[in-house]
Copies of this chain bind each other. A is one copy, B any other.
Amino acid sequence: MGKHSTNMRVKLPIFCLLLEAITILLFAIFVRYNDETDASEWHDRMKKHNESNADNDFYFRYASFQDVHTMIFIGFGFLMTFLKCYGFSSVAFNFLIAAFGLQWSTLIQGFFHGFHDGKIHIGIESMINADFCTGAVLISFGAVLGKTSPVQLIVMTLFEVTLFGINEFIILSILGAKDAGGSMTIHTFGAYFGLVVSRVLYRPQLEKSRAREGSIYHSDLFAMIGTIYLWMFWPSFNSAVTAHGDDQHRTVLNTYYSLAACTLATFALSSMLNGEGKLDMVHIQNAALAGGVAVGTSAEMMLTPFGAMIAGCLAGIISVLGYKFLTPVLDSKLKIQDTCGVHNLHGMPGILGALIGVIVAAAATADIYGLGMEDVFPLIYDGTRTSKSQAVYQLLALLVALAFALIGGIIVDNYISVLNVGKDNALNDVIFMRKN
């Protein structure tokens, strides 16, 4: 029995079953239904307040949740199937990581939010947040795709989810920054964390498998399924945890127009930069989505529709330029093999999104927001902060996200690099078997 089979046949089952057992134990000790989910509590509350519509909130959140869920499992899962010999790994590991990540993040995020009486109280909002956290891990997965074993991916998930929870708590609760669509907490953090981890996994022998790092005709169509689901449901992603009413409505609208504008910019740049005027499927699959990332912080704010479109255009342009000029440099100079180009889709557009958030926050006035200021910028509304100081905190939040990604990534590297990886695991679905 070779090292490879040991890793898969012994380590993977032990890791999965042990972690699942620990998770179940922690759930048994700490996790309880929240008041909306508990049969007794909910009916008591209904009776006390005579609330006949108490469940509307659940339904509106659940609709958003299912859209986000689709992005996590179909969107991310299929976006990465473009590699011709790595489709099973892309979809299946995406599935495994997400299934573990959402359980683990329920615990981690639960200690920061909704922890009282010594228990974590869960409901639809914790499910959305668990999916969000999982999204960050899947972005990192895109950077290391083809260079890790499933055991390493689970270890990465374990650490990254934990760091995500701390990072998000600092940004949202301590700094009081706004980041409903996660330009900073999800995209910037997930991308740079993954890129740092990718660096430690750089191995010369991987070059041999470069021939496999290509697509075949149908694998690119599968990837387009991922792209289009991400594109369509991004308005739900950015608005899933914003306040009901105008906030959610506006977030949806801004994201929709940002993505539409981004798509035209992507097609334009892609054919412009190609010697023969050809459209690059990699750009269409990825850069057209950067518009969603770029308004992740600001879509909730009074960005205006044309402001959203400008943000989308910039994101598309930056993203295509990144694929064309920056990715090859990262690989050759910095030894960072960014398999899916997450730096171009999530990294740079995430930073752009954070900076747009800084600008739009700085421009907030009582005249523009009216009573709506309370939902968007509660600390400006109650007089704790001025618009300018809110902008400073937004900028600080970006720096925190970057710091967590870089330092966290380096810490995780140590744990990941000691784990054994089957040599032929690179960009190859050899660890899967099929009926034949």
Contacts and interface: CB of A to CB of B under 8 A. Distances in A.
Contact of A87 (B25, B55, B215, B221): B221
Interface string A77-90: 11001100001100
A179 interface: no
A321 interface: no
A148 to B, nearest CB: 15
Contacts of A263: 95-96, 99-100
Contact of A277 (B4, B247, B280): B4
B123 A42 contact: no
Nearest to A252: B62
Nearest to A376: B39
Interface in A1-46: 4-10, 12-14, 16-17, 19-20, 23-25, 27-28, 31-33, 36-44, 46
Contact of A229 (B74, B271, B376): B74
A436 interface: yes
Interface stretch (A183-191, A230-238, A391-399, A407-415): A230-238
A174 interface: no
Contact of A73 (B19, B228, B265, B302): B228
Contacts of A41: 246, 370
Nearest to A283: B433
Interface in A237-293: 244-250, 252-253, 256-257, 259-261, 263-265, 267-269, 271-272, 274-282, 284, 288
A58 B244 CA distance: 10
Interface residues of A, number: 140
Given A17-B265, A220-B88, A260-B100, A248 B58 contact: yes
B74 A232 contact: yes
A342 to B, nearest CB: 15
B17 A261 contact: no
Contacts of A256: 102, 127
Given A24-B313, A74-B225, A91-B224, 14 more contacts: A4-B277, A9-B271, A9-B272, A13-B268, A13-B271, A17-B265, A20-B265, A58-B248, A70-B232, A73-B228, A96-B267, A99-B288, A123-B249, A278-B431
19 contacts: A8-B278, A9-B272, A9-B274, A36-B246, A37-B246, A39-B370, A42-B245, A44-B371, A53-B53, A66-B232, A81-B221, A95-B263, A103-B260, A103-B309, A213-B435, A218-B222, A225-B225, A279-B431, A279-B433
